[in-house]
Amino acid sequence: MQRKIILFLSAFFILCFVASTPGTRSIAAANSPQAQPSPQPPPTLASALDREITSIEKQIVEVAEAMPEDKYNFSPENLNLPGADYKGVRTFALQVKHVAASNFAIWSPLTGDTFPKDFLGGNGPENVKTKTEILKFLQDSFALGHKAAATVTPENMLQTPGHSKSTRLRLTTFGVAHACDHYGQMVEYLRMNGVVPPSSRANSH
């Protein structure tokens, strides 16, 4: 009987010691079901497409913001480089406006929004001239992109909306690919004016 009492007290003191040891409670709490972080919901087709639009939107907007306003009318043609052929290429302002106008053209069939007639021609409305106005035009076009991505589902992604010959999935991804193409050109315009693109500044640290 005395031996059983000794064993009981020994077990009791061991449990008390473990419970009072620093970190024990936090370990126990971390292992409890309530302390586990809630699992993230699995991505959907719409959320995956939206993430791609967000990525290129960030890059394009940052480049457009980085270029000084007095360089918005810059074109490589201004440099008169020997052996180069930049005649007639878009100015930086027109590069940005072209991306925005194209976004509206590509994504409006998905949302059902009316494509404004003054966006025709690929360079957007002529009355959008200042850096502030051009940036707003650009941001509004990407807002339409997010709206468009939200409409795409596994069930309708291969459907052709409105009078378009392209599927919903193709239109959504083509908007991203087109913007990526012009992002590469806009980066070179910045470099030609001694401006380091924001994404390269981040990588240099």
- Domain spans of the chain? 45-198
C-alpha to C-alpha distance for 175 and 169, rounded to whole angstroms: 10
Find out whether 56 and 162 touch, Cβ atoms under 8 Å.
no
Mean pLDDT (the chain) is: 84
Per-residue confidence (pLDDT) for residue 74, from 0 to 100: 96
Give CATH for domain 45-198.
1.20.120.450
From residue 111, how far is each of 18, 63, 168, 200 by CA, in Å?
61, 27, 10, 34
For residue 5, is pLDDT > 80?
A: no
Question: 11-15, 31-35, 51-55, 191-195 — which is least confidently predicted?
Answer: 11-15
Residue among 201, 205, 186 nearest 63 (CA): 186
Find out whether 65 and 96 touch, Cβ atoms under 8 Å.
no
Cα torsion at 45, 49, 55, 61 (round to 10°)?
-150
SS3 83: coil
Find out whether 85 and 67 touch, Cβ atoms under 8 Å.
no
Note the pTM of the prediction, 2 decimals.
0.77
70: DSSP letter: G
Q: Which residues contact 116 (CB under 8 A, 6 or more apart)?
A: 104, 125
Structure tokens at 20: 């009072």
The mean pLDDT value for 173-193 works out to 96
For residue 190, is pLDDT > 70?
A: yes
Per-residue confidence (pLDDT) for residue 155, from 0 to 100: 97
Find out whether 115 and 122 touch, Cβ atoms under 8 Å.
no
Per-residue confidence (pLDDT) for residue 145, from 0 to 100: 97
From residue 80, how far is each of 76, 77, 83, 179 by CA, in Å?
8, 6, 9, 27
C-alpha to C-alpha distance for 142 and 138, rounded to whole angstroms: 7
Q: Cα dihedral sign for 123, 124, 126, 127?
A: negative
Find out whether 111 and 49 touch, Cβ atoms under 8 Å.
no
